[in-house]
């Protein structure tokens, strides 16, 4: 059986490349070096699936939309960018945990966001401090990360984010529309019915 797989692979390579050099050399390296810890059978399977997908891409017509259609779609679906201002070299473990909590929640809920490091970029630090409203600033000192913005609109700090998360109102806190079926969308529908 192994011989038939190798022969089929070489025939596929000849069909794709017009010769047997690429596949033959790769097969020899696969069997002699055993490039993965799973052994040659697993490696050959990966190699075979890559060659099959490569060949099917050449044989099948492209299913991707044209550039003109893709351009109009991106104009229609322009998403707002959530910016999370963090400090990568913070000495405070509570700040590190808060930053990880915010970014982990956004990533888990597939909310696109951008990390802006205030420790490595002075312009980010200056912009963050200038754009936090006076009523949201601490009484003494500078505002500490994480600070959350939607484009240039201030959303809040960690405490406000935590409260919104506890109330199932994170999308409203971020200024985004809640996806259908989410807890927040269901709660908004119930409020609208009352």
Q: Where are the domains of the chain?
A: 2-57, 78-179
Considering the segment(s) 78-179 as one domain, its CATH architecture is: 3-Layer(aba) Sandwich (3.40)
Cross-sheet strand order for the sheet of 153-157: 113-117, 82-86, 147-150, 153-157
- pTM for the model stands at 0.58
Distances (CA, A) of 123 to 35, 113, 119, 127: 46, 19, 10, 6
| Nearest-angstrom CA–CA distance, 92 and 4 | 61
Q: What is the per-residue pLDDT across 84-130, written as a single tens digit (0 to 9) for each?
A: 999 999 899 999 999 999 999 999 999 999 999 999 999 999 999 99
Q: What is the per-residue pLDDT across 44-97, written as a single tens digit (0 to 9) for each?
A: 444 444 444 444 444 444 444 444 454 444 444 456 689 999 999 989 999 999
């Amino acid at each position: 059986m192994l011989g038939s797989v190798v022969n089929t692979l070489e025939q596929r390579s000849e069909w794709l490349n017009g010769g047997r050099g690429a596949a033959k050399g790769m097969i020899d390296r696969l069997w002699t070096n055993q490039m993965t810890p799973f052994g040659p059978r697993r490696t050959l399977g990966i190699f075979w699936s890559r060659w099959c997908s490569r060949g099917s891409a050449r044989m099948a017509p492209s299913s991707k939309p044209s550039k003109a259609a893709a351009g109009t779609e991106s104009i229609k679906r322009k998403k707002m960018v959530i910016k999370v201002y963090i400090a990568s070299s913070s000495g405070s473990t509570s700040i590190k945990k808060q930053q990880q909590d915010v970014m982990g929640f956004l990533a888990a809920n597939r909310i696109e966001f951008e990390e802006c490091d205030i420790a490595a970029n002075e312009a980010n630090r200056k912009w963050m401090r200038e754009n936090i409203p006076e009523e949201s600033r601490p009484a003494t000192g500078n505002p500490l990360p994480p600070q959350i913005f939607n484009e240039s609109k201030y959303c809040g700090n960690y405490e406000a984010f935590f409260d919104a998360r506890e109330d199932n109102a994170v999308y409203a806190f971020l200024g985004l529309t809640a996806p259908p079926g989410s807890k927040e969308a269901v709660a908004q529908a119930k409020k609208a019915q009352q």
